[in-house]
Each structure stands twice: as C-alpha cells, then as structure tokens.
Structure 1
Amino acid sequence: MKRHLMNRRSFALTALAGTSTLALAACGVGGAGGSASGGEDTVIKVASHLPPMTDVVTLAGEVAAEEGYTVELVQVTDNVQYNRLLADGEVDANFAQHEPFMQEFNEANGANLVLLDGIYDAKVGFYSKAHDDVEQIPGGAKVAIPNDLTNEGRALAILHHHGLITLPEDAGFEGRVSEIVENPLSLEFVNIDLLNLPSAYDEEGMALVYSYPSYIKKVGLTPADALLLEELVDQRFTISLVAREDNQDSEKIQALRRAMTSDRVRNFLKDEHSATLLPAF
C-alpha cells in the first residue's frame, strides 16, 4: 500500500483511564536468566495484548534466546495496561500500539515512552453487516468509530478517501467529527472503545463499523470482508516496539530489537498473516 505522511497539528491530550487484570504473565521463552554480557540481567519482560502481537513477541523470544536472553510475555486485556506497566518500570518494553497512541499516553500521563522499531502495518477498515455496497448506505445511518482521537482521525480519513464525507483540505489523519465539512448522507457517528467496536457490528441500524483485524476477528471477519479498506497508510500507525527513555539503549533492549526485526519474524508475518497485515521492516 502507498504510504503518505500527513501532519497538521500536535495530538490532543486524552486521558487514558481504567484498570484491568493481567490475562497472562511471565510466559518465558529462552533459558534461565543470567548474564549474556558483563553480568547484565538477561530477562526481558514485554507487555502485549492480542495475537498476532503476542505471537510476534513469543517468536522474538526464541530468536533472543540464541543470544542468551529470556523474553517473558506479559499479556494484558486492554489498551491501557501495557503502557502503565512500561511507564511504571514493571516491564521492559511493550508491543501493542502505534506512535500517535503512545504520544497521546505520554502527554496525558507525563510518561517517557519511546518508539523503537515499526514491525507491521495492520489492514484496517470499515465493516458492515447490513450492506454489501457503499451505495446501499441510507441517509442518517450510524457509523461506529474509535473513541480515542488518534484512531478517530484515521477512521475519518478512510471515509473521506472513499467520498462518504469531506474533511478540511489539510486534515490528513487528524480530522475530527466536529470538523467535517460535508456529510451528504447525514451519517451519525458513534464513538466506541476499540475493544468494543466488534460488538457494534451486530447492532441494528449500524451501517459501518471501523476495526482492526485483531479485534474484528472476534466476530469471524477478516480484512477481506471489509466494505471499505484503508488505502493511504501513514507510517505513524505502524504497530511498533516501544521502550522507555531510560532503558532504550540497554543491551537487552538492543537484543530485543534485533529479535523483533529478525528474518524469522518478517517471514512469519509474511507467511502467516499476509491477509491482515504488511511487514514494516
């Protein structure tokens, strides 16, 4: 997919609130912790959320084990905990988000998370249970979009690109519902948490539902089922490996980076998940 980088303004602050219990912790890959070089701790804790992100961490752990490191997957159940755990120093890195979402968390929480490597671009889009063609969408129909600002802008950019709405000329991927210039179908936008968007797919009167492949999979769908797919991809939305300013240069984080961007991981993404994503390295 063709990549376009579009920037208009700094991202708005959004409070990320909520708590959740860990679904899985300390799933180690590799040998016992010890010393790979100079007595440094070789256990690397990585927080992640859903497949294929968790699968990538597990595979990277196998690669890192060849250098004497043990990767422990800490799997969480929402889009808050992986950043809280990293910011609080309870894990060494996380793999579950794109750069704008990380920046939003930093600004809202005074955190110092840093993006290291882009790993893959998810194929995002809009799904419809009621319609097989965009031309069938009636006036006043409901459209479910994410309730966080970074993903809201991405969703609206898709609708703009496909001609359902018109955003300001310089909006790029940062448009807001309040800024829509033209809405010929008088679409009604419903803001929903990313995790709950798949549930909106079955709601009566919901014409379009935005989602990521890992979420929409819950209702048995893939990007091949999408009514509208993203065609213009901003590299800022690449799902990426994230660490902190104070540990990004450590030996074990460098070992994790090598593992996450290894040929084994790239081939896994290409061979096993080409229907839902594109490797970014």
Structure 2
Amino acid sequence: MKKFAIFLSLFLFASLAAGCAKTEDSKALKVGIRGSESRTWEFVKEQAQKQGLNIELVQFNANVNPNTVLLEGDIDANAFQHVAFLDQFNQKNNSDIVPVGSTIIAPLGIYSDKFKKIEEIPDHAKIAVPNDDSNWGRSLVLLQEAGLIKVVDNFDGFGGADKIKENPKNLEIVPVDGATTPRVMKDVAASIINNGVAVEAGFFLKDSIFHESQTAKPYINVIATTKQNENKEDLKKLVQVYQSKEVSDFITKTYQGNYIPTQVTVEELKNFKSAYASK
C-alpha cells in the first residue's frame, strides 16, 4: 500500500510537471514565415531562447498568406513581406497590420551580359522588367535610383509605362514574366531580376551592375503584427534579437550578400512612400 502511495505521488508529480511544460509551450510566440529565410529564423529562435524568449516558427507555402492567418489570430506575428506589400494588403483588406521592426532587404538588381556598368547602357536600349504591378513599380524606382529615368510626382509604387516622367535615354521598358527575366538577358541590354529568381538562376547580387541599397525603404522586409499587439514586450524582444550583431553576421555569412540586414526605425517604415518621390 505504501509503495502504491509513493507511485501515485510520483505519477501526479510527473503529470503536473508535464502540464506546466505544456503551459509554457502554449506561451510561445508564434511567428509565421516562408521557406526562403528559414535558416535565419532557426538561428533567431536559438538566440531568443538564450534570452528567455520562446519562439514557435510556423512555416507557410506560397498558397497561404501569413497576413490572413495573423488576422485570424492563429499566429502572433509574421515575417515574410516588405512594407510596400504590407501596405497594399491593408488597403485591399481594410486591415490594420503594422510593422514592428525591420529585418532584411532582398535587393532587386539590374543584370547584364553585355555591359559592366550602369553608365554604359546606351540610348534606346531595351530594359526587361517583371510585369506584375508591384515589381514593375519597384523596377522603375530602381531605374530612378540608377539615374536612368524619373517617375511621376504622384507615383504610387505600381508600374506601367505611364508612370515614367522623364526618360532622357529613351529607354524601351519591356515587361516580361518575372520568372523569365534571367532568360531574356540575351535579347535586351539589361534585365531587372527579383532576388529570389536571380539566386535560382545562379546569380549573386555582386553579379549585378546596379542594385537597391539597404535604404530602399518600401522594399525593406519587416516583422509585422496586428495593431492591438504592436507594443507587446515579447515582440519588442524579438525585434531586438533579430537586429542583433549575431543575427546580422549570420545573415551576411549565410546568404553571401543576397540578403542585407537592415535596421531602420518603425517611423521610417511607416513613412516609406516618401522614397517614391522623383529625385
């Protein structure tokens, strides 16, 4: 009987401990991500644990929008989008998801197998750009940054031939499917290639003749959450961990310059549209 009492006590203690562990796990900060940055986030998770912050990473494929899942309350934050994409989502869905910290920029680049410098691009040259509105607009901003064109004064971030205000070299902008931008290089003077597509094609950012800088505010990726949760201490700690030197060094080494760690204030992120202005 005494042995049974001891066994029962041990069983109850083990059950209680297991219950406590389950409660702790339920308090983990759930962060929705996509595969392209999974190595970074596994490292962030390790660094966060050292500071007493428990993170649960929730992987999504391209068919699921982590913003929708965030609004449904199934995750606490997400990290997969740049601030211009977030703004577009909010406008379309009448939602109020906000950035709480910057992460990286995956720079858009101008690639050419004919020219080694942006200054060598001749008059009347053909420049291929991705044909979806968002990346087309992003390409125009990049061409403006490179000094080749100027966008209209009221530029909204979306592309189209009518969004070019000045084109001193009379460049011909050729919209093509984003996935084909590496393949059409043989037919154009230069091609603007999205970072992910460039990597798949075997290009590194250093191979481009010009690329976005880490100050291209509209296209800085962010950690985002709902408006009511933006001041949570766990999220503030998460941003601090991501923006630490340890994580920045990991990103630089792991992605060999294709992702650039970027730290800007939340206020700058929210005022990203100022970067669209003609220069």
- Normalised by the length of structure 2, the TM-score is 0.71
Query: Structure 1 residues 76, 153: closer, same or farther in 2, change over 3 A?
Result: same
| Conserved 8 A contact 2:34-2:80 | yes
CA displacement at 1:107 relative to structure 2: 0.6
Please state whether the residue corresponding to 1:55 is helix, strand or coil: helix
User: Which of the numbers 49, 56, 71 marks the counterpart of 2:34?
Assistant: 49
| Conserved 8 A contact 1:85-1:91 | yes
Alignment of 1:122-133 (within 5 A): 122-129=106-113, 131-132=115-116
Q: Percentage identity across aligned positions?
A: 20
User: Which of the numbers 89, 94, 114 marks the counterpart of 1:105?
Assistant: 89
Give distance in 2, aligned partners of 1:126 and 1:248. 36
Residues 1:230 and 2:215 are matched in the alignment? no
- Corresponding residue for residue 121 of structure 1: 105
Over aligned residues, Cα RMSD in angstroms? 3.2
User: Which region of structure 1 is more displaced relative to structure 2, 245-254 or 128-137?
Assistant: 128-137
Give distance in 1, aligned partners of 2:214 and 2:243. 24
Aligned AA for 1:247? N
Alignment of 1:201-240 (within 5 A): 201-203=182-184, 205-231=187-213, 233-240=215-222
Give distance in 1, aligned partners of 2:256 and 2:149. 30
Give distance in 2, aligned partners of 1:91 and 1:229. 34
| Conserved 8 A contact 2:115-2:189 | yes
Residues 1:200 and 2:200 are matched in the alignment? no
User: Which of the numbers 176, 187, 195 marks the counterpart of 2:172?
Assistant: 187
CA displacement at 1:181 relative to structure 2: 2.8
Give unpaired runs (5+ residues) of structure 1. Answer: 1-31
The number of equivalent residue pairs is 239
User: Which of the numbers 13, 23, 37 marks the counterpart of 1:34?
Assistant: 23
Please state whether the residue corresponding to 1:34 is helix, strand or coil: helix
The CA deviation string for residues 20-75 of structure 1, in whole angstroms up to 9 with x for no partner, is xxxxxxxxxxxx65338xxxx42232222243x22222111112223151422313
CA displacement at 1:268 relative to structure 2: 1.2
Query: Structure 1 residues 163, 69: closer, same or farther in 2, change over 3 A?
Result: closer
Residues 1:59 and 2:43 are matched in the alignment? yes
Point out the structure with the larger helix share: 2
Alignment of 1:13-28 (within 5 A): none
Aligned AA for 1:118? S
- Corresponding residue for residue 243 of structure 2: 261
- Normalised by the length of structure 1, the TM-score is 0.70
- Corresponding residue for residue 94 of structure 1: 78
Give unpaired runs (5+ residues) of structure 2. Answer: 1-20, 264-279
Query: Structure 1 residues 232, 270: closer, same or farther in 2, change over 3 A?
Result: closer
User: Which of the numbers 119, 130, 133 marks the counterpart of 1:148?
Assistant: 133
CA displacement at 1:108 relative to structure 2: 0.5
The CA deviation string for residues 104-162 of structure 1, in whole angstroms up to 9 with x for no partner, is 1001111221101112233321123465555366736251235234x433321221233
| Conserved 8 A contact 1:47-1:76 | no
Q: Rg: which structure is higher?
A: 2
Give distance in 2, aligned partners of 1:209 and 1:88. 39
| Conserved 8 A contact 2:126-2:172 | yes
User: Which region of structure 1 is more displaced relative to structure 2, 206-215 or 260-269?
Assistant: 206-215
User: Which of the numbers 74, 83, 93 marks the counterpart of 2:67?
Assistant: 83
Residues 1:280 and 2:269 are matched in the alignment? no
Query: Structure 1 residues 231, 249: closer, same or farther in 2, change over 3 A?
Result: closer
Query: Structure 1 residues 263, 126: closer, same or farther in 2, change over 3 A?
Result: same
The CA deviation string for residues 182-234 of structure 1, in whole angstroms up to 9 with x for no partner, is 33334133164xxxx24321136344332343331000001111132235833
